[in-house]
Structure 1
Protein backbone atom coordinates (compact mmCIF):
# COMPACT_ATOMS: atom_id res chain seq x y z
CA UNK A 1 0.00 0.00 0.00
CA UNK A 2 1.37 3.41 -0.90
CA UNK A 3 2.19 6.11 1.64
CA UNK A 4 -0.40 8.44 0.12
CA UNK A 5 -3.24 5.91 0.39
CA UNK A 6 -2.23 4.97 3.91
CA UNK A 7 -2.08 8.61 5.00
CA UNK A 8 -5.52 9.22 3.44
CA UNK A 9 -6.91 6.27 5.43
CA UNK A 10 -5.29 7.63 8.58
CA UNK A 11 -6.54 11.20 8.13
CA UNK A 12 -10.03 9.97 7.19
CA UNK A 13 -10.20 7.83 10.31
CA UNK A 14 -9.04 10.80 12.42
CA UNK A 15 -11.90 12.89 11.02
CA UNK A 16 -14.48 10.12 11.48
CA UNK A 17 -13.26 9.41 15.00
CA UNK A 18 -13.52 13.05 16.00
CA UNK A 19 -16.94 13.58 14.41
CA UNK A 20 -18.32 10.55 16.23
CA UNK A 21 -16.71 11.70 19.50
CA UNK A 22 -18.26 15.14 19.04
CA UNK A 23 -21.68 13.66 18.24
CA UNK A 24 -21.58 11.28 21.18
CA UNK A 25 -20.73 14.17 23.49
CA UNK A 26 -23.67 16.21 22.24
CA UNK A 27 -25.95 13.20 22.70
CA UNK A 28 -24.53 12.72 26.21
CA UNK A 29 -25.31 16.32 27.14
CA UNK A 30 -28.85 15.93 25.81
CA UNK A 31 -29.30 12.55 27.52
CA UNK A 32 -30.21 11.14 24.13
CA UNK A 33 -31.28 7.53 23.69
CA UNK A 34 -29.07 7.54 20.55
CA UNK A 35 -26.11 6.72 22.81
CA UNK A 36 -27.62 3.31 23.54
CA UNK A 37 -27.76 2.19 19.91
CA UNK A 38 -25.56 -0.79 19.14
CA UNK A 39 -23.69 0.88 16.26
CA UNK A 40 -22.80 3.85 18.49
CA UNK A 41 -21.11 1.49 20.91
CA UNK A 42 -19.27 -0.50 18.21
CA UNK A 43 -18.19 2.09 15.61
CA UNK A 44 -15.72 4.01 17.79
CA UNK A 45 -13.77 0.78 18.32
CA UNK A 46 -13.78 -0.06 14.60
CA UNK A 47 -12.74 3.44 13.53
CA UNK A 48 -10.09 3.75 16.24
CA UNK A 49 -8.64 0.33 15.33
CA UNK A 50 -8.21 1.51 11.72
CA UNK A 51 -6.77 4.78 13.03
CA UNK A 52 -4.23 3.13 15.32
CA UNK A 53 -3.25 0.47 12.78
CA UNK A 54 -2.67 3.07 10.08
CA UNK A 55 -0.66 5.19 12.56
CA UNK A 56 1.63 2.27 13.43
CA UNK A 57 2.18 1.37 9.77
CA UNK A 58 2.83 5.02 8.86
CA UNK A 59 5.37 5.37 11.68
CA UNK A 60 7.17 2.26 10.50
CA UNK A 61 7.04 3.42 6.89
CA UNK A 62 8.61 6.82 7.65
CA UNK A 63 10.93 5.20 10.21
CA UNK A 64 9.99 7.47 13.08
CA UNK A 65 9.05 5.99 16.40
CA UNK A 66 7.73 6.99 19.83
CA UNK A 67 10.46 7.36 22.45
CA UNK A 68 12.89 8.13 19.59
CA UNK A 69 11.17 11.05 17.87
CA UNK A 70 9.83 13.63 20.33
CA UNK A 71 6.87 14.70 18.19
CA UNK A 72 5.64 11.11 17.94
CA UNK A 73 6.20 10.55 21.66
CA UNK A 74 4.05 13.62 22.38
CA UNK A 75 1.31 12.32 20.05
CA UNK A 76 1.22 8.97 21.83
CA UNK A 77 1.17 10.65 25.26
CA UNK A 78 -1.61 12.92 24.02
CA UNK A 79 -3.51 9.93 22.69
CA UNK A 80 -3.33 8.18 26.07
CA UNK A 81 -4.60 11.33 27.79
CA UNK A 82 -7.36 11.69 25.17
CA UNK A 83 -8.45 8.08 25.74
CA UNK A 84 -8.50 8.57 29.52
CA UNK A 85 -10.56 11.74 29.22
CA UNK A 86 -12.93 10.05 26.77
CA UNK A 87 -13.43 7.16 29.17
CA UNK A 88 -14.16 9.64 31.94
CA UNK A 89 -16.64 11.49 29.74
CA UNK A 90 -18.57 8.44 28.58
CA UNK A 91 -18.10 5.82 31.30
CA UNK A 92 -16.47 6.77 34.56
CA UNK A 93 -17.48 10.37 35.20
CA UNK A 94 -19.63 10.46 38.33
CA UNK A 95 -21.41 13.73 37.61
CA UNK A 96 -22.68 15.58 34.57
CA UNK A 97 -20.11 18.34 35.18
CA UNK A 98 -17.22 15.88 35.30
CA UNK A 99 -18.42 14.16 32.12
CA UNK A 100 -18.82 17.39 30.16
CA UNK A 101 -15.53 18.80 31.48
CA UNK A 102 -13.68 15.63 30.46
CA UNK A 103 -15.33 15.75 27.02
CA UNK A 104 -14.22 19.36 26.50
CA UNK A 105 -10.68 18.66 27.75
CA UNK A 106 -10.46 15.63 25.46
CA UNK A 107 -11.23 17.88 22.49
CA UNK A 108 -8.48 20.30 23.52
CA UNK A 109 -6.04 17.39 23.69
CA UNK A 110 -7.31 16.11 20.32
CA UNK A 111 -6.54 19.44 18.65
CA UNK A 112 -3.11 19.53 20.32
CA UNK A 113 -2.41 16.11 18.78
CA UNK A 114 -3.49 17.47 15.39
CA UNK A 115 -1.17 20.47 15.79
CA UNK A 116 1.71 18.14 16.58
CA UNK A 117 0.90 16.03 13.52
CA UNK A 118 0.87 19.09 11.26
CA UNK A 119 3.99 20.77 12.66
CA UNK A 120 6.03 17.79 13.93
CA UNK A 121 6.68 20.05 16.92
CA UNK A 122 5.52 18.92 20.39
CA UNK A 123 6.43 22.29 21.94
CA UNK A 124 4.17 24.29 19.65
CA UNK A 125 3.01 26.55 22.52
CA UNK A 126 6.41 27.19 24.11
Structure 2
Protein backbone atom coordinates (compact mmCIF):
# COMPACT_ATOMS: atom_id res chain seq x y z
CA UNK A 1 0.00 0.00 0.00
CA UNK A 2 2.98 2.32 -0.37
CA UNK A 3 2.15 3.06 -3.98
CA UNK A 4 -0.22 5.98 -4.37
CA UNK A 5 -2.34 4.44 -7.14
CA UNK A 6 -3.26 1.52 -4.87
CA UNK A 7 -4.87 3.99 -2.48
CA UNK A 8 -6.71 5.88 -5.23
CA UNK A 9 -8.18 3.01 -7.28
CA UNK A 10 -10.81 1.88 -4.71
CA UNK A 11 -12.20 5.41 -4.51
CA UNK A 12 -12.40 5.62 -8.29
CA UNK A 13 -14.21 2.27 -8.50
CA UNK A 14 -16.73 3.20 -5.81
CA UNK A 15 -17.37 6.56 -7.45
CA UNK A 16 -17.95 4.90 -10.82
CA UNK A 17 -20.42 2.50 -9.23
CA UNK A 18 -22.39 5.34 -7.65
CA UNK A 19 -22.36 7.42 -10.85
CA UNK A 20 -23.46 4.47 -12.98
CA UNK A 21 -26.30 3.82 -10.54
CA UNK A 22 -27.43 7.44 -10.80
CA UNK A 23 -27.24 7.40 -14.60
CA UNK A 24 -29.20 4.16 -14.76
CA UNK A 25 -31.93 5.60 -12.54
CA UNK A 26 -32.29 8.79 -14.56
CA UNK A 27 -32.14 7.00 -17.90
CA UNK A 28 -34.93 4.58 -16.99
CA UNK A 29 -36.92 7.13 -14.97
CA UNK A 30 -36.66 5.01 -11.82
CA UNK A 31 -36.19 7.01 -8.65
CA UNK A 32 -34.96 6.34 -5.14
CA UNK A 33 -37.67 5.49 -2.58
CA UNK A 34 -40.25 5.29 -5.38
CA UNK A 35 -39.10 2.00 -6.85
CA UNK A 36 -38.00 -0.72 -4.45
CA UNK A 37 -35.26 -2.17 -6.64
CA UNK A 38 -33.47 1.17 -6.88
CA UNK A 39 -33.56 1.64 -3.13
CA UNK A 40 -32.29 -1.90 -2.56
CA UNK A 41 -29.51 -1.49 -5.10
CA UNK A 42 -28.29 1.76 -3.58
CA UNK A 43 -28.52 0.32 -0.06
CA UNK A 44 -26.49 -2.71 -1.10
CA UNK A 45 -23.89 -0.50 -2.77
CA UNK A 46 -23.51 1.69 0.31
CA UNK A 47 -23.24 -1.43 2.51
CA UNK A 48 -20.58 -2.84 0.16
CA UNK A 49 -18.51 0.35 0.44
CA UNK A 50 -18.88 0.32 4.24
CA UNK A 51 -17.85 -3.35 4.54
CA UNK A 52 -14.80 -2.86 2.35
CA UNK A 53 -13.82 0.15 4.46
CA UNK A 54 -14.34 -1.90 7.60
CA UNK A 55 -12.24 -4.75 6.28
CA UNK A 56 -9.39 -2.61 5.01
CA UNK A 57 -9.20 0.42 7.28
CA UNK A 58 -11.41 0.36 10.33
CA UNK A 59 -10.92 -3.26 11.39
CA UNK A 60 -8.56 -3.13 14.36
CA UNK A 61 -8.33 -6.89 14.81
CA UNK A 62 -8.60 -9.94 12.57
CA UNK A 63 -12.17 -10.69 13.69
CA UNK A 64 -13.45 -7.29 12.48
CA UNK A 65 -11.54 -7.66 9.21
CA UNK A 66 -13.05 -11.10 8.62
CA UNK A 67 -16.56 -9.76 9.28
CA UNK A 68 -15.94 -7.01 6.72
CA UNK A 69 -14.66 -9.43 4.10
CA UNK A 70 -17.39 -12.04 4.63
CA UNK A 71 -20.23 -9.56 4.35
Unmatched runs of 5 consecutive residues or more in structure 2: none
Judge conservation of contact 2:51–2:69 (CA < 8 Å) in 1.
yes
TM-score, L = length of structure 1: 0.51
Q: Tell me which residue corresponds to 2:64.
A: 98
Q: Tell me which residue corresponds to 2:13.
A: 47
The structure 1 segments of at least 4 consecutive aligned residues displaced by more than 2 Å after TM superposition are none
User: For residues 1-126 of structure 1, what are the structure 2 equivalents within 5 Å?
Assistant: 35-105=1-71
Judge conservation of contact 2:14–2:49 (CA < 8 Å) in 1.
no
Task: Show CA shifts across 1:37-87 (max 9, x none).
Answer: 211110111222222212211110100011010011111111222122111
Judge conservation of contact 2:56–2:65 (CA < 8 Å) in 1.
yes
Unmatched runs of 5 consecutive residues or more in structure 1: 1-34, 106-126
Judge conservation of contact 2:54–2:65 (CA < 8 Å) in 1.
yes
TM-score, L = length of structure 2: 0.85
In 1, Cα distance between the equivalents of 2:9 and 2:64?
Answer: 24
How many residues end up aligned between the 2 structures? 71
In 2, Cα distance between the equivalents of 1:37 and 1:90?
Answer: 16
Task: Show CA shifts across 1:80-113 (max 9, x none).
Answer: 22122111101111101210221111xxxxxxxx
In 2, Cα distance between the equivalents of 1:70 and 1:47?
Answer: 24
Q: Tell me which residue corresponds to 1:115.
A: none
Instruction: Please give the root-mean-square deviation of Cα atoms over the aligned residues, in Å.
Output: 1.3
